[in-house]
Amino acid sequence: MTTTDVVQLLYLAASALFILGLQSMGKADTARRGVRFAEVGMLLAVVGTLLHHEIISYHWIAISIVIGSAIGTAMGLFIPMVKMPERIALSHAFGGLAVALVGVSEYVRHGAHAPMLTIAAIGLEVFLGALTFTGSLMAFGKLQGVITGKPLTYPGQNASNLLALAVALAGVAYVVANPSAATVFYVVLGLGFVLGVLLVLPIGGADMPVVICLLNAYAGLAAAATGFALGNNVLIICGALDGGSGIILGLMMSKAMNRSFRNVVFGAVGSAPAAAAAAAGPGAAPTSSANVGSLEDAAAVLASARSVIIVPGYGMAVSQAQHVVRDLANALAAGGAEVRYAIHPVAGRMPGHMNVLLAEANVPYEQLFDLDAINDDFGSTDVAIVVGANDVVNPAAKTQPNSPIFGMPVLAVDQARTAICFKRSFNPGFAGIENELFTKPSTMMVLGDAKKSLAELVQAVKSEAKLAA
Ligand code: NAP
């Protein structure tokens, strides 16, 4: 067996593992296994690439592996979970830049003599890679607050963006016909960099996670183009998987957030939730009409509860309250209550955010229920405990047509006999709007940091149980 055969076999095994990995990640109980499959697949792909006959010196590769591993390990260890969208945006930026640089290097090495199909692939690769690089940096800047999260629009924006896109594609076609036209090739690269900025400018910070999914798809398509340019099968398969899954995830998130995918893609066409929120009215609810309770009050209500649904939200992630949430669930279950968790598809700040945190706290998967599976049960539930969730439990999504979240499916916490909401204040959530759930007579607000409040509540629940025994 030749080295080329070994490389192709490794690539085949890697591709199969990526597909198995993606499939396993679709279910909570097999997700960890899916990540392992993908990790092994990536290792095989890297080993296969290192065996490539064209590599004549490992010197720079070794240095790059050390630097890349150091940065990747530090990012994995030190970037908190709540900053995951920003981290993903940065990863995409680096991926896009790498793809663009590989394309430039291929053009410099073989450009003038490469077959037409290869030149076309290189042209698309550098364009999409450059666009992903600056687009992802813009998304990172907006999420991080370095650049304003407000949509930046100007007259003729969509028309000028479409013109730039048409010029870039015409440039690729020109280079395919005249492979030695290096200037045109670099104009295509430059247009990619500029369009990345221009396409993300008109999109509000609220839509950034959907944009990141889209940039993920662009990066995947760019990687697939690289695969065609280099004749590398694993890159073609991996890029296609990345591109396809990015688009599917973007579509799913738009649906769950009740945002039009077309508006997100073409920016400027629609308004971001923040802008709509301003039109919808003030954010903070009047505290005077709310029923603010103490931890003792909450413990007393829970003492007689037979059915409890816990609704985690972004505040649980901020406060890192997942472990104490599990302790509370255990204490209530020990007292005879049936405890379940209701997981909204966009609770938190990234898909699966709540599932990841609760899995980290060893909450059994069987206790987690998706919105569709549990929403009808709130009406027959004694207590709904809301831990740092706001938009995903806001009844305005069902009742107020002018609300920016109108139409978004929300958890029917307002239907429970009693709702106990843990948050620090009456401040609004991500969408920046008032939540009438917090002023309903059947709602008790317990103000304070979720982790601190729940830790004390667990003790209070245990004391109540001892008194009752
Ligand atoms: P949310 O609407 O952002 O509300 C979170 C609440 O947590 C806030 O009202 C805040 O109130 C509270 N909070 C913050 N820190 C806290 C702490 N230490 N202790 C207790 N409470 C704390 O969150 P959500 O209900 O999970 O909804 C998610 C929102 O993000 C949706 O609008 C969704 O569309 C959007 N989004 C989701 C994703 C995704 O993929 N999951 C991506 C992008 C956008 P206080 O400040 O008063 O404490």
Residues 192 and 315 occupy one common structural domain: no
User: 21-28: which pairs have CB atoms within 8 A and are 24 or more residues apart?
Assistant: 22/241, 22/245, 28/355, 28/359, 28/365, 28/368
Cβ–Cβ < 8 Å for 332, 361: no
Q: Is 364 helix (H, G, I), strand (E, B) or coil?
A: coil
Q: What is the pTM of this model?
A: 0.76
Indicate if the pLDDT at residue 269 is higher than 70: no
CATH number at residue 360: 3.40.50.1220
Residues 240 and 337 occupy one common structural domain: no
The answer to the question of residue 50 being in a domain is yes
The answer to the question of residue 97 being in a domain is yes
The answer to the question of residue 282 being in a domain is no
Q: Whole domain around residue 66: which residue ranges?
A: 1-78
Q: Which of 358, 430, 445 to mutate to test the pocket of ligand 1 (most atoms within 8 A of CB)?
A: 430
Residues 68 and 132 occupy one common structural domain: no
- Per residue in 28-38, pLDDT (tens digit) is 778 889 999 99
Place of tokens 């007259």: 155
- What is the edge-to-edge ordering of all strands in the sheet holding 383-387? 368-370, 338-343, 307-312, 383-387, 418-423, 443-447
User: What are the residues whose beta carbons fall under 8 Å from the beta carbon of 142, sequence distance 6 or more?
Assistant: 148, 149, 200, 203, 205, 208
Residues 311 and 218 occupy one common structural domain: no
The answer to the question of residue 405 being in a domain is yes
| Overall domain count for the chain | 3
The answer to the question of residue 207 being in a domain is yes
- Per residue in 310-345, pLDDT (tens digit) is 999 999 999 999 999 999 999 999 999 999 999 998
Residues 228 and 293 occupy one common structural domain: no
Which pLDDT band, with edges at 50, 70 and 90, does 74 fall under? very high
Residues 56 and 98 occupy one common structural domain: no
The answer to the question of residue 84 being in a domain is no
Active site residues: 391
Residues 463 and 373 occupy one common structural domain: yes
Smallest CA separation from ligand 1 atom 21, residue: 423
- Per residue in 158-201, pLDDT (tens digit) is 899 999 999 999 999 999 999 999 999 999 999 999 999 998 88
Contact residues of ligand 1, CB 6 A cut-off? 209, 253, 257, 313-315, 318-319, 346-351, 353, 388-392, 422-425, 427, 429-431, 449-450
Residues 161 and 221 occupy one common structural domain: yes
Residues 103 and 221 occupy one common structural domain: yes
Residues 381 and 446 occupy one common structural domain: yes
Q: What is the DSSP letter of 260?
A: -
Provide the total of helices (H) and of strands (E) in the chain, helices listed first: 18, 6
